[in-house]
């Protein structure tokens, strides 16, 4: 059984777009996106910075949350990033 923690992450991209993805290492994944590799979305909308990320106990749980986030409008994603960052600073 894989005990690896997975993260859902939010990236601010060119054009003010917000991208949601999953990875066991969000900072490394940002670097991959910035090199033009990975998701087509980030190849077309170059990522500027990592807005926020949140840990999930399994890849399945992270993918489920990512799917829900991708349905959100941009403003909802920005609010979620703010909440995640506030939670991180409380711990």
Q: Report the number of distinct structural domains present in the chain.
A: 1
pLDDT digits (tens, 9 = 90+) for 12-26: 999 999 999 999 999
49 is a domain residue: yes
Instruction: Name residues whose C-beta falls within 8 Å of residue 5's C-beta, 6 or more positions apart in sequence.
Output: 24, 55, 56, 57
Q: Quote the domain boundaries for residue 14.
A: 6-90
18 is a domain residue: yes
CATH number of the domain to which 82 belongs: 3.40.1440
- β-pairing, 18-23 vs 6-13, is antiparallel
Asked whether the CA dihedral 48, 57, 76, 44 is positive or negative, the reply is positive
46 is a domain residue: yes
Residue 84 is predicted with a pLDDT of: 96
Task: Work out the end-to-end distance of the chain between its first and last CA atoms, rounded to an integer number of angstroms.
Answer: 28
pLDDT digits (tens, 9 = 90+) for 39-88: 999 999 999 999 999 999 999 999 999 999 999 999 999 999 999 999 87
1 is a domain residue: no
């Amino acid at each position: 059984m894989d005990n690896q923690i997975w993260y859902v992450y939010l990236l601010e991209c060119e054009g003010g777009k917000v991208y949601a993805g999953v990875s066991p290492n969000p900072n490394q994944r940002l670097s991959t996106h910035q090199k033009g590799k990975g998701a087509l979305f980030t190849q077309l909308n170059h990522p500027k910075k990592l807005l926020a990320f949140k840990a999930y106990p399994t890849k399945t749980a992270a993918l489920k949350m990512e799917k829900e986030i991708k349905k959100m409008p941009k403003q909802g994603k920005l609010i979620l990033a703010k909440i995640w960052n506030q939670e991180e600073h409380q711990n």
